[in-house]
Amino acid sequence: MNGELRQLVEEACPLVPVGHRARLVQQFNLARDLAEIVCQSYPEGHLPESINKALSALTRLGEQLSRRTYCVGFLGPFQAGKSSTFNNVLNATDTEEEPAKVGQGFPTTAVITRLVKSASGKHCVRPVFLSTTEFEEKRQFLLRLVGFKGNEKDEVVLQQIPDILRNWTKEVRTRTDASGNEIPVRRKDVEYLALFLRSYARFRSSIADSRIVLNNVPFAERARYLQHPPDPWDQQDAHVTPLLREVIIEYSTEAIPPTLELLDLPGYDGDCSVDAFLTDQFLKTLQAAFVFCRATDFGGIVETIVTNLRHVLGHDLRGRVWLVITRCDDINIRNGATREDRNIFDQIKNFAKNKGIPQSQIIFVTNDLAGFRRRMEDGTFRKRVNELIDAVSDDWPELRQQWDSLSEDGGIGALRRLIVDQVAKQVGESIARQASNRLPELCETFYSHLRELDNEKRLGELPERISKWRHRLLQAAIITPSQIRSFANQFFNDLSATWDSLELRSELVDHIAREGGNTRLREEFMMHAYRLDNAIQTFLRTEWTTTAYRPLVEQLRQHEHADGSLSLPGVCDSGIADYLEDCATRDQRDLSWINGKLPSFKAHNPFEDLPDHSAPIYTGEEYLEVMTRKMQVVSQQIAILLTLRVYDKVRELLELIRQYALDLFNRGDISLPHEWSQMMAEFDRRMSEIVRT
């Protein structure tokens, strides 16, 4: 089992709301203990897929419940105002104090910026380099992104890139995506790859199996690590930024509580795809996010971001995702618009509703407060905004207050108060809700599987003869394609003999078609289909059913002659082979078990919907070929049906043996080790407590 999956104590879950903490820790520990016993019951690397998935979910919940800080991401398209808002929330109005560089019409954030409250009272920077594994993953991504296979040497790629860029306007370079589509390559991606590989050649000593961290880099040097170099990237000197996983900024401020880490993530829709790659890598580490969206242009990229967050955080986004509407000084209000025009606030409301974001988690901000105030001084504009707000106020009662906060300080104060006072609490409540729903389900998953193992353990304590025969039946229940092919060939030969007895020649079919067209061919086909369908019923009642059982019965007879039979009262009184032979006899006599499943020639008449006087669709030769193919298909279908029937009867017998064993256990004729029985009794008690709570 995952070594990180340790028991929790309440003291290790400081951010979980107190009212939920004891219960969630109890449920987590029960799920963890159940998972441990289940994992111990399998060889390493052979866990069922359902258990692997449940373990992954439990591990994620354990990490969420035991966090001492929550990671909150600032995400959105480039130039959506993320970095500006990031700085304003921190009151970093002085350029020398800004942790995030503000863009000038192009992407500037080149690496994940993790802002944490400084314990020393001073600003400092801690760049974190990629590990060897992370570097190779990024390298492979970049190579394939620009149309390479991924196995080329760095020197070869660097030699080819100048020619690729030189011929950029003459040749369209493409890459193949996962669906096999040809996608044009972006020039910036090629430039970045050149910078990335050259940077590695110079700074390769910074890439190691464990991430290397540079401690206490002066805050004044942060731009060297945070920003993209000047254009064109392929002509710049080697740079450390492409080799960084993230940059941690310890910032002395009261605007960040010690329970939060704020992550400024590169924009999604810049000219360089690596920015989206970096952001996607960190999505799964977030506990919450502020998604930035320009008031003049929302949807598209923002919709993709929220969808990706739902995959990570779940569908309940309460206390998890806030929609930050920026550039409100440029909000799209057309002069002279009528009340029937599409209301911008109505669009925002519907977007948030469709994505599961509560209205209370919509925030309006502007980083140009003076420009916003000037625009609101325009009486026509102000009147129109108020009309649009009034139009949706019944469905969005908090909108007026949310919008009015813009005039005070551009909405930054409301956002700052949210971050300082509420985000950690709301995220904690959201995680508690998620865990409250998921942990009982995981307990039930592991417990149900443990119950199955308990039954297996009881069966393992059976007398040797019962246990040996049970294992033989388990082996016998394995279906092989060769077995089905053998039955299908035999059934096809039998149907072919019936078909040959009709002595139908292609010349006769051609004559029938000439005389009566498709009408006569339809009648002829129905007559042939009737004969073949009757033959199938006859074969099932005389040969085919017992043919399907025979190989297994003969195999079991040989075991009985060698080792003796297994006779269980009320289950298989005369032995296993006789039991299955009786099943074959009953199935052969009563074919009701196959009702609705048996293929029929009559049910698929190729002439059914053709006009009576239309030209024949088959020549005589073609008709005979069609009938041969139909017989082959029907033979395969019947072979599969009969094989599955035998398999079902074996499984029924195994279940009867299992129940027989449980009856023995309940009567005290067999017993389990005392320690195992005690453990199951304890789990039963703990599961009953979960149900009660």
Task: Tell me the residue range of the domain where 22 lies.
Answer: 1-68+428-462+676-692
Residues 657 and 512 occupy one common structural domain: yes
Residues 452 and 515 occupy one common structural domain: no
Q: Is 128 helix (H, G, I), strand (E, B) or coil?
A: strand
Evaluate whether residue 83 is within a structural domain.
no
Radius of gyration of the CA atoms of the chain, in A: 36
Residues 608 and 519 occupy one common structural domain: yes
Last residue of a domain, one of 206, 225, 252: 252
Residues 489 and 623 occupy one common structural domain: yes
Residues 629 and 488 occupy one common structural domain: yes
Evaluate whether residue 601 is within a structural domain.
yes
Query: pTM value?
Result: 0.65
Q: From CA 195, how far away is CA 229, in angstroms rounded?
A: 10
**Given this model, what pLDDT does residue 465 score?**
73
Per-residue H/E/C for 297-332: ECCCHHHHHHHHHHHHHCCCCCCCEEEEEECHHHCC
Q: Determine which helix (DSSP H) or strand (DSSP E) holds 163, and give its type and residue range.
A: helix 154-166
Q: From CA 108, how far away is CA 185, in angstroms rounded?
A: 21
As averages over each run of 10 residues, the pLDDT of the chain (693 residues) reads 77 92 94 92 85 93 92 84 81 73 51 89 92 94 90 92 87 73 84 93 95 91 83 84 93 87 79 79 89 78 89 90 83 51 81 92 88 85 88 91 87 87 89 93 93 71 72 81 92 94 89 83 88 93 93 90 82 88 93 89 78 77 89 93 93 86 66 72 84 63
Per-residue H/E/C for 374-440: HHHCCHHHHHHHHHHHHHHCCCCCCHHHHHHHHHHHCCHHHHHHHHHHHHHHHHHHHHHHHHHHHHH
Exposed, middle or buried: residue 673 (CB in 10 Å: 0-12, 13-18, 19+)?
Answer: exposed
Residues 569 and 624 occupy one common structural domain: yes
Residues 633 and 556 occupy one common structural domain: yes
Structurally, the chain folds into a number of domains equal to 3
In the beta sheet, which residues pair with residue 112? 246
Residues 444 and 485 occupy one common structural domain: no
Evaluate whether residue 493 is within a structural domain.
yes
**Given this model, what pLDDT does residue 339 score?**
46
Residues 144 and 63 occupy one common structural domain: no
Evaluate whether residue 102 is within a structural domain.
no
Evaluate whether residue 194 is within a structural domain.
yes
Residues 61 and 129 occupy one common structural domain: no
One-letter amino acid for residue 52 of the chain: N
Q: Determine which helix (DSSP H) or strand (DSSP E) holds 585, and give its type and residue range.
A: helix 576-589
Evaluate whether residue 188 is within a structural domain.
yes
Evaluate whether residue 356 is within a structural domain.
no
Residues 458 and 478 occupy one common structural domain: no
Evaluate whether residue 363 is within a structural domain.
no
Last residue of a domain, one of 207, 233, 252: 252
Residues 150 and 220 occupy one common structural domain: yes
Last residue of a domain, one of 215, 230, 252: 252
In the beta sheet, which residues pair with residue 323? 291, 362
